[in-house]
Amino acid sequence: MTDLSPSTSVVSPAVLARLQALLGESRVKTDLDSRMTWGKDWTKHFEPNPSVIVFPSSTEEVKAIVQLANAEGLKITPSGGRTGLSAGAVATQGEIVVSLDRMNKVLDFLPADRLVRVQAGVVTEQLQQFAEEQGLYYPVDFASAGSSQIGGNIGTNAGGIKVIKYGMTRQWVLGLTVVTGKGDVLQLNRGMIKNATGYDLRQLFIGAEGTLGIVTEAEIKLERQPQDLRVMVLGVPDFAAVMPILHAFQQRIDLTAFEFFGEVAMQKVIAAGHVARPFDTPCPFYVLLEFEGRFEAVVDDAMGIFEHCVNQGWVVDGVMSQSLEQAKNLWRLREDISETIAPFTPYKNDISVLITHVPAFIADIDAIVAARYPDFEICWFGHIGDGNLHLNILKPAHLSKDDFFEQCKAVNIQVFETVQKYQGSISAEHGVGMTKRDYLSYTRDPLEIEYLRAVKTVFDPNNVMNPGKIFL
């Protein structure tokens, strides 16, 4: 871990005075506790080193902050719910951290369009609850929904557990208000579904990790609520069985989720004491799938497919939820994994390939891991229905964090070479940030990276926005 001596980084008195005049003293924080809290995300690879934390409440205030940074030669790191896993929201260069915490309002709702306009600091779960109150549904969902913010989700094009049915955040953003790195305010697409008037700049800001500017508002599309959701957890004997199960169910049923995890993950969740094993038979791996069981024929189909998978040897045991409470508990087996392995300081890889390549890809990665980490606990889980795997290596108690991370980094090249072999992504849904920055070339070729840098220069010519993220 880099030691950045956070206690030494404070903006000049003149800049501090201008920020306080703009926002008021209560919305400008320079104390060490605040800087360490808002200057980081969930990653543990880098020490935060911000100069000051500011809390704007409007697009106009964000614009003024960005213009001040340009005039004074300062840097900015946008901060949302700080749940990122690639150090995309970690301020290491004395930046002004612009927290969107106060920009947390639902601004408008257009029922005929199923469209809601929100500020970027609205928490994901807050948006989900608002949609439910309108009899609608916001389907982008993940374990950090209770603290992640919409602006951060847009910045990383967040995915989660429903991608197989509903897609990524990108599919649900119909419009954006952004403050560019130059300090200009742009209103992009204005919520329209059909708009054939040239370049769609909105899409550039989705997944840009705050390197082009700051998203301040978004128009979000909502969906009808799913009904009578059923959850199945199936025990499987090996990796090779997972994809045939997926194919068997998808031929007959529209799945809303298809997740998988290993026995190590199951053990950690069960040990936390919040839920019990779904069935007595321990298995090397498990599949969790979800579908709408609105009609008896669909549920009967699911049971018939389950029996077929058992007969083929793809499934050892399984269970289907019979109530909403049971469905929630089955989901906890998957959703509680990140929380329960956190005390083990996991080294995370968030990788993806085309679904067609998943079986061969997993076999290659598993062989690398087994050869290089024979004494480490490996925790597999992921959204395997869309080709996304989370490889988590758990730190042994006898190793320091720094030594552990160094050992893990030594194998990153092999893992990413395998990703490149299958033309996959080194970051499926967590973004690049700083943790994946040095490996970007395994997913993007040099010419493409040159174009990315050119785009960055157009929107942020003075390199004010989120320096050191995605690329140097």
CB neighbour list of residue 321: distance below 8 Å, 6 or more residues apart: 230, 231, 232, 327, 330
Amino acid at 335: E
Q: What is the DSSP string of 332-387?
A: HHHHTHHHHHGGG--EEEEEE--GGGHHHHHHHHHHHHHHH-TTSEEEEEEEGGGT
What pLDDT score does 7 carry? Answer: 46
**CA-to-CA distance for 379 and 415, rounded, in angstroms?**
15
Count of CB atoms situated within 10 Å of the CB of 225: 13
Rounded to the nearest angstrom, the gap between the alpha carbon of residue 193 and the centroid of all alpha carbons in its chain is 25
pLDDT in tens, 207-235: 999 999 999 999 999 999 999 999 999 99
Tokens read off for 358:
């998943």
What pLDDT score does 48 carry? Answer: 93
Domains 106-224 and 229-338 share a fold: no
- Domain 6-102 falls in which CATH fold? 3.30.43
Q: What is the DSSP string of 292-345?
A: E--SHHHHHHHHHHHHHHHHTTS-SEEEE--SHHHHHHHHHHHHTHHHHHGGG-
What pLDDT score does 9 carry? Answer: 61
Q: Which residues pair with 425 in a beta bridge?
A: 352
Cα distances from 199 to residues 65, 188, 203, 438, in angstroms, run 27, 10, 9, 30
CA atoms within 13 Å, Cβ hemisphere of 139: 20
Tokens read off for 448:
């493409």
Exposed, middle or buried by CB within 10 Å (0-12, 13-18, 19+), for 325? exposed
Strands 223-224 and 106-110, sheet pairing: unpaired
What pLDDT score does 191 carry? Answer: 97
CA proximity to 167, closest of 125, 206, 218: 206
226, 168, 59, 143 alpha-carbon torsion, rounded to 10°: 70
pLDDT at 255 over 70: yes
What pLDDT score does 373 carry? Answer: 82
pLDDT in tens, 345-388: 888 889 999 998 988 998 898 889 888 888 888 899 999 899 99
The yes or no reply on domain 229-338 and CATH 3.30.70.2190 is yes
pLDDT band at residue 264 using 50, 70 and 90 as cut-offs = very high
**CA-to-CA distance for 231 and 328, rounded, in angstroms?**
9
What pLDDT score does 35 carry? Answer: 95
- When pLDDT is averaged across residues 52-73 and rounded to a whole number, the result is 98
- Domain 106-224 falls in which CATH fold? 3.30.465
Mapped to the 3 state alphabet, what secondary structure does 209-264 carry?
CCCCEEEEEEEEECEECCCCEEEEEEEECCHHHHHHHHHHHHCCCCEEEEEEEEHH
pLDDT in tens, 131-169: 999 999 999 998 888 999 999 999 999 998 999 999 999
Q: How far apart are the first and last CA of the chain?
A: 18
pLDDT band at residue 405 using 50, 70 and 90 as cut-offs = confident
**Average pLDDT across the chain, whole number:** 94
What are the extents of the domains in the chain?
A: 6-102, 106-224, 229-338, 345-430
Count of CB atoms situated within 10 Å of the CB of 275: 15
Tokens read off for 386:
């869309």
Tokens read off for 407:
């050992």
CATH of domain 345-430: 3.30.70.2740
Angle at 323 between CA 322 and CA 329, to 5 degrees: 100
Among 6-15, 166-175, 177-186, 375-384, whose mean pLDDT is lowest?
6-15
Count of CB atoms situated within 10 Å of the CB of 29: 19
CB neighbour list of residue 23: distance below 8 Å, 6 or more residues apart: 54, 55, 56, 61
Tokens read off for 349:
């890889």
pLDDT band at residue 326 using 50, 70 and 90 as cut-offs = very high
